[in-house]
A = this chain, B = another copy of it.
């Protein structure tokens, strides 16, 4: 039994902002299933900022996309044909063979996950998956959030940020402050996601707005942005403050090296710690996270947003919109 899989490939390494010319769509005829393989109909795929780094030909924590080959990334779908006893037809599976409508590979590449009542499958690409885990690990393992501390989160209306704000509160933070780039997002932070204070970083210098929002200083900074946000945090930190560096979206599309914060000396005088992380090194925390997040979701203690773009054909636009900050919550592409 053969089938045709529509797939998105990278054909040129973008310089600065990617354009449609850097990609192509191909139709790949899939061979009959080999022993142990499954064929999966992808229902949702993830677009994430880290993918921009993979479009460059540089050594990083994930290997670069190969020119002329189909890109990869988080996806969730349902087994539609199976030559594996472990994953019968109908099984919902989470995997990394995104950027295509039909994925086919050895069963070892797919992980069966339960369908939770009332929770869309796309949640596995966000709050219940790597996105939620990233927020959880950043706050608890990297920054060591303690009860009663003040937390600042940049890119707070994004998928990781909205999760992080709620986790911070549930884990005992006394004050949670967020920044975002539109008035609509800023309103959502305090009205929906339980932030105590939020500001639009385009309204005034971040240094000033953060100082106003955190008159008692901050203890933990969850950094999704870098640049002027990190600089502002270094000024606002109390002694012993800790930053979890998760993203530096301001530099992803820059073709020049961007100068770092101008107040690095505060790291010494205030005894600060900056620690970067990529979630792939912390997957051992998934069981603890997933049990806790599962309870929070089922008890209605955590809410989440998604921006759903329809159609694999629109996946490049979805990715570009994500880089521009057009999403609220996790950005996903609905494939079928």
**Chain A positions near chain B (C-beta within 8 angstroms):** 53, 60-61, 226, 230-231, 239, 245-248, 251, 257-278, 281
Q: How far is the CB of A254 from chain B (nearest CB, A)?
A: 10
Chain B, residue nearest A250 (CB):
B265
Contact B271 A278 (CB under 8 A): yes
Q: How far is the CB of A270 from chain B (nearest CB, A)?
A: 7
* Beyond A271-B281, A273-B274, 19 extra complex contacts between A and B, CB < 8 Å: A60-B269, A61-B269, A61-B271, A226-B264, A226-B265, A245-B264, A247-B268, A248-B264, A248-B268, A257-B262, A259-B260, A260-B262, A266-B276, A267-B275, A268-B276, A268-B278, A271-B277, A272-B276, A273-B276
Contact A246 B268 (CB under 8 A): yes
**Complex Cα spacing A264 to B231, Å:** 12
Contact B270 A61 (CB under 8 A): yes
Residue numbers in B under 8 Å from A258 (CB-CB): 262
Residue numbers in B under 8 Å from A230 (CB-CB): 264
What are 26 sample pairs from A and B whose C-beta atoms fall under 8 A apart? Answer: A60-B269, A61-B239, A61-B269, A61-B271, A226-B264, A247-B268, A248-B264, A248-B265, A257-B262, A259-B260, A259-B262, A260-B260, A260-B263, A260-B264, A261-B264, A267-B274, A267-B275, A267-B276, A268-B277, A268-B278, A269-B276, A271-B275, A271-B276, A271-B278, A272-B275, A274-B275
Most B-side CB within 10 Å, residue of A268, A271, A272: A268
Chain B, residue nearest A264 (CB):
B260
Q: How far is the CB of A21 from chain B (nearest CB, A)?
A: 26
Contact A273 B275 (CB under 8 A): yes
Q: How far is the CB of A160 from chain B (nearest CB, A)?
A: 13
**Complex Cα spacing A264 to B61, Å:** 15
**Complex Cα spacing A315 to B272, Å:** 32
Chain B, residue nearest A60 (CB):
B269
Q: How far is the CB of A272 from chain B (nearest CB, A)?
A: 5
Chain B, residue nearest A280 (CB):
B271
**Complex Cα spacing A258 to B264, Å:** 9
Q: How far is the CB of A331 from chain B (nearest CB, A)?
A: 20
Chain B, residue nearest A61 (CB):
B269
Residue numbers in B under 8 Å from A276 (CB-CB): 266-273
Q: How far is the CB of A264 from chain B (nearest CB, A)?
A: 5
Residue numbers in B under 8 Å from A257 (CB-CB): 262-263
**Complex Cα spacing A189 to B266, Å:** 29
**Complex Cα spacing A275 to B241, Å:** 10
Residue numbers in B under 8 Å from A281 (CB-CB): 271
